[in-house]
Structure 1
């Protein structure tokens, strides 16, 4: 159980769901261990959050355990989406813990947002990879093309194929490079100076927030499948989660594996907590 997620399912405002899918990882596998590892390394976190003057155990969080995968990825994603949709139908917010990034498709399918804000080292805009459109390198493309997401904002991206960069040039994609992330965050937190003709999203847009831990520089989160140097600082990802959470209807953190000493899992668990604290604080003061 995720520490502090002790509320009964019927009374929960947030529901943690593990999705240990490890079917298409292309370099270092191990995301099947991600949900359990995130839960384990979250045990050292204090329940009390001074910034929001709240306790995680009082936010109404339930841990529903894992939705175990099988070898038919599209069928698993449909099943996982149904489980997450039941959370949303109960007016609770799904907090999905991967597993490979492909599971974000199920979260987006369940929540049906207009905007996907994703932290990722990779564009994940391939039409297919290794012959499969369900590879984790295709997830943002699937959300845009198959689920009808209006806009994807990819923060921290620093690599992709030529075809992916061509797709990223379309009007429904915005890429924020690591070196531009702080300025983007400052504008998001304070409104303009965004481009008035092309804001990242409007105040009334529904949003889904996804964090692939490989968005961080691998010096901070080496326990992930496809490390990419020159990434985001942990505080930048934390601040993005804090800023987006009040606008978001769903959240996931993905691509944690077991190939480090817990650094990636520790930051993933902390980001989940930051999302819940920020979302609940905005909800309680009416600003969400």
Structure 2
């Protein structure tokens, strides 16, 4: 159980779901351990949040446990979509903990946001990668089949075709150096996805495809806080077991920052 997530399902304002998918990782696998590590390294934090004056244990967070993947990724995404949609119908804001970034596709399909906001080192606008249409490198493209617009904060790499696609009117890319001055500039509902590799790998080395020249933890926290009030759901993905807990610690803290900011709004 995620520390402080002690609410019963029927009373939940937030529902945490682990999604340990690790099917398409293209460099360093281990995202299947992400939900476990985020729960483990979240144990150290104080219950009280000075920024909002709230206690995490008062915010009615329920931990559903993990929804284990099947051998067929498309089938798994359908199943995960149904689970997330059920929590949404019950009035609980879904909190998805990956697993590889592909799991985000299920949440976006379930919640149908107007805008997809993502903190990510990569554009993830590929049609497919290594022949896989559900690769972790295709997430933003899939999100745009549901959302009207995508905003990618911290992106600093992609293929030439991805950068060409990012020039379209429905995609906004905010490079790392501009994220500190960025404020939400959209109407409607949003879904917020945080790929831990948006952080510079010096802060979060435990991820599948680390990319230098990234965001600081403080910059990521501020972005999460600013977007949270307009969101219908949240995820933190791509944490693996290839470090001493730095990535999982940051992920757990960002998840808590989201819940505090969303509840406070």
Q: TM over 0.5, yes or no?
A: yes
Tell me, yes or no, if structure 1 residue 228 matches structure 2 residue 208.
Answer: no
Q: Which residue of 2 aligns with 1:135?
A: 135
Tell me, yes or no, if structure 1 residue 176 matches structure 2 residue 159.
Answer: no
Q: Which residue of 2 aligns with 1:201?
A: 186
Aligned positions of 1:30-41 closer than 5 A: 30-41=30-41
Say which SS state the counterpart of residue 95 (structure 1) adopts: strand
Tell me, yes or no, if structure 1 residue 279 matches structure 2 residue 262.
Answer: yes
Say which SS state the counterpart of residue 235 (structure 2) adopts: strand
Using the TM superposition, give the Cα deviation of residue 5 of structure 1 relative to its aligned residue in structure 2, in angstroms: 0.3
RMSD: 0.7
Say which SS state the counterpart of residue 36 (structure 2) adopts: helix
State the Cα deviation string for residues 19-72 of structure 1 (Å, max 9, x = none): 000000000000000000000000001111111111101000000000000120
Cα distance in 2 for partners of 1:247, 1:206 equals: 6
Q: Which residue of 1 aligns with 2:54?
A: 54
Q: Which residue of 1 aligns with 2:22?
A: 22
Cα distance in 1 for partners of 2:87, 2:220 equals: 25
* Structure 1 gap segments, 5+ residues each: 189-199, 283-288
Q: Which residue of 2 aligns with 1:167?
A: 165
Q: Which residue of 2 aligns with 1:155?
A: 153
Q: Which residue of 1 aligns with 2:250?
A: 267
Within the candidate set 231, 234, 238, 1:251 is matched to 234
Cα distance in 1 for partners of 2:71, 2:144 equals: 24
Using the TM superposition, give the Cα deviation of residue 139 of structure 1 relative to its aligned residue in structure 2, in angstroms: 0.7
Q: Which residue of 2 aligns with 1:196?
A: none
Q: Which residue of 2 aligns with 1:241?
A: 224
State the Cα deviation string for residues 146-169 of structure 1 (Å, max 9, x = none): xx2100000000000000001000
Say which SS state the counterpart of residue 133 (structure 1) adopts: coil
Using the TM superposition, give the Cα deviation of residue 93 of structure 1 relative to its aligned residue in structure 2, in angstroms: 0.2
Using the TM superposition, give the Cα deviation of residue 106 of structure 1 relative to its aligned residue in structure 2, in angstroms: 0.6
Cα distance in 2 for partners of 1:242, 1:149 equals: 21
State the Cα deviation string for residues 108-144 of structure 1 (Å, max 9, x = none): 1111101000000000000010001100000110111
Cα distance in 1 for partners of 2:36, 2:97 equals: 9
Cα distance in 2 for partners of 1:28, 1:108 equals: 25
Using the TM superposition, give the Cα deviation of residue 252 of structure 1 relative to its aligned residue in structure 2, in angstroms: 0.1
Q: Taking structure 2 as the reference length, what is the TM-score of the superposition? A: 0.99
Q: Which residue of 2 aligns with 1:120?
A: 120
Q: Which residue of 2 aligns with 1:191?
A: none
Q: Taking structure 1 as the reference length, what is the TM-score of the superposition? A: 0.91
State the Cα deviation string for residues 64-119 of structure 1 (Å, max 9, x = none): 00000012001000100100000100111000000000000011111110100000
